[in-house]
Amino acid sequence: MSTLKRIVVIDDDPDFLEYARIVLESARNEVLTATDAAGGLALIRQEHPDLIITDVMMSYTMEGVSVTREIRDDPELAGIPVLVITAIARTPDAQLFADGAQPTADGFLTKPVSPQALLAAVNNCLSSDGACRLPQRST
């Protein structure tokens, strides 16, 4: 990517936030982080990022889903791509994310995610046409 992109990452796991920051900044992105939905939404409204990356399971089970719904319901934010990265695929709640069951997110990756897979997903989401074309699932 030739121009600096601003990415907000929302996750309650400080280790994942640091991992994402290192990987994304190595590709010359500006990374802003939040540890919960309220902080993430405030940051998104303030910064109007180019991409939002969020976990699903945070302080309450489906907090990330609430974040994406709120983004989609806000006309000023609805056009920002949302990439969900979560370990939920390895839990009993996985059926909530069956193919086609994630209308609020533009892309979905499972944790753990390799640096290469994360950067490929981010590059796809930030492509010049604004489309977020991702593989169905990634490990």
The pLDDT profile of the chain, 139 residues, written as one tens digit per residue, is 457 899 999 999 999 999 999 999 999 999 999 998 889 999 999 999 999 999 887 765 556 778 888 898 999 999 999 998 888 655 444 455 545 445 577 888 888 999 999 999 999 888 866 556 554 444 4
d(CA 1, CA 51): 13
In a domain, 50, yes or no: yes
In a domain, 133, yes or no: no
In a domain, 139, yes or no: no
d(CA 106, CA 23): 20
d(CA 67, CA 74): 11
In a domain, 47, yes or no: yes
For residue 92, the Cα-to-chain-centroid distance in whole angstroms is 21
The residue among 5, 9, 6 whose CA lies nearest residue 83 is: 9
Bond before 75 cis per omega within 30 degrees = no
Range of the domain at 91: 5-125
CATH number at residue 49: 3.40.50.2300
In a domain, 131, yes or no: no
- Written as one string, the DSSP assignment of the chain is --S-EEEEEE-S-HHHHHHHHHHHHHTTEEEEEESSHHHHHHHHHHH--SEEEE-S-SSSTTHHHHHHHHHHH-TTTTTS-EEEEESGGGSGGGGGGSTT--TT-SEEEESS--HHHHHHHHHHHTSTT------S---
* Domains of the chain: total: 1
